[in-house]
């Protein structure tokens, strides 16, 4: 990130640098800002908000897990009928669906069209073990569903306190004048 921040400052100073990936609290935001980001994207953290259009069962399943309970895979995209290039995978919770299809992509492709309606119904109905639940490794830092405005305020306050407090602690008291 610092190298990209330097490049943007030099070649495109009006371009904003937004950090993403694993940021779910004030520590992540403070770190990203110190590395040169202008802001952060809070994917999984805002996914765990009531405003998110996801079944509460999926949020509960994710909150019961942690970052090690996720895996990069393509099974959820196959089930939904999305044919992404091979290098593009999605991170989902490890569950029965993932255990069944991860590594069995060729077989999955042969049945996906016929089972798509049931898969999509499972997403809508909150059958969390039967579908791919997209969520990032930051889920291990998330312990509750909270309103988006509360999440944003808390993370900003945490980051500000960390940036101010850590600087004072590292620099110590000001020298006498």
Looking at residue 166, its pLDDT comes to 75
Check whether residue 19 and residue 76 sit in a common domain: no
Range of the domain at 65: 53-144
Check whether residue 108 and residue 136 sit in a common domain: yes
Check whether residue 135 and residue 158 sit in a common domain: no
CA distance 18 to 34: 12
Please state, in angstroms and as integers, the Cα–Cα distance from residue 122 to each residue in 8, 97, 114, 170, following that order: 44, 11, 14, 51
Looking at residue 51, its pLDDT comes to 97
Check whether residue 42 and residue 58 sit in a common domain: no
Looking at residue 86, its pLDDT comes to 86
Looking at residue 169, its pLDDT comes to 75
Check whether residue 140 and residue 156 sit in a common domain: no
Check whether residue 129 and residue 176 sit in a common domain: no
How many structural domains does the chain have?
2
Looking at residue 133, its pLDDT comes to 97
Looking at residue 97, its pLDDT comes to 98
Q: Report whether 89 contacts 160 (CB < 8 A).
A: no
Check whether residue 132 and residue 60 sit in a common domain: yes
Check whether residue 86 and residue 72 sit in a common domain: yes
Q: Which of 128, 154, 149, 137 is nearest to 54 (CA)?
A: 128
Check whether residue 110 and residue 136 sit in a common domain: yes
Looking at residue 146, its pLDDT comes to 97
Kindly give the confidence (pLDDT) of every residue in the chain, 177 residues in length, as a single tens digit, with 9 standing for 90 and above: 999 999 999 999 999 999 999 999 999 999 999 999 999 999 999 999 999 999 999 999 999 999 899 999 999 999 999 999 989 999 999 999 999 999 999 999 999 999 999 999 999 999 999 999 999 999 999 999 999 999 999 999 999 999 998 777 777 777 777
Check whether residue 128 and residue 75 sit in a common domain: yes
Looking at residue 53, its pLDDT comes to 95
Residue 87 CA, chain-centre distance (Å), reads 19
Check whether residue 66 and residue 132 sit in a common domain: yes
Looking at residue 175, its pLDDT comes to 73
Check whether residue 102 and residue 29 sit in a common domain: no
Looking at residue 130, its pLDDT comes to 98
């Amino acid at each position: 990130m610092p190298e990209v921040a330097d490049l943007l400052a030099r070649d495109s100073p009006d371009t904003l640098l937004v950090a993403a990936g694993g940021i779910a609290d004030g520590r992540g935001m403070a770190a990203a800002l110190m590395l040169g980001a202008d802001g952060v994207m809070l994917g999984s953290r805002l996914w765990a908000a009531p405003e998110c259009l996801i079944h509460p069962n999926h949020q509960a399943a994710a909150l019961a897990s942690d970052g090690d309970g996720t895996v990069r895979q393509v099974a959820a995209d196959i089930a939904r009928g999305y044919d992404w290039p091979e290098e593009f995978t999605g991170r989902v919770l490890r569950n029965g669906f993932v255990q069944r299809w991860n590594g069995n992509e060729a077989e999955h492709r042969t049945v996906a069209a016929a089972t798509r309606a049931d898969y999509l119904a499972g997403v809508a109905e909150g059958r969390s073990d039967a579908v791919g639940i997209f969520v990032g490794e930051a889920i291990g830092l998330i312990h509750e569903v909270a309103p988006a405005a509360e999440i944003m305020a808390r993370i900003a306050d945490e980051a500000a306190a960390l940036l101010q407090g850590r600087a004072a602690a590292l620099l110590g008291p000001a020298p006498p004048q």
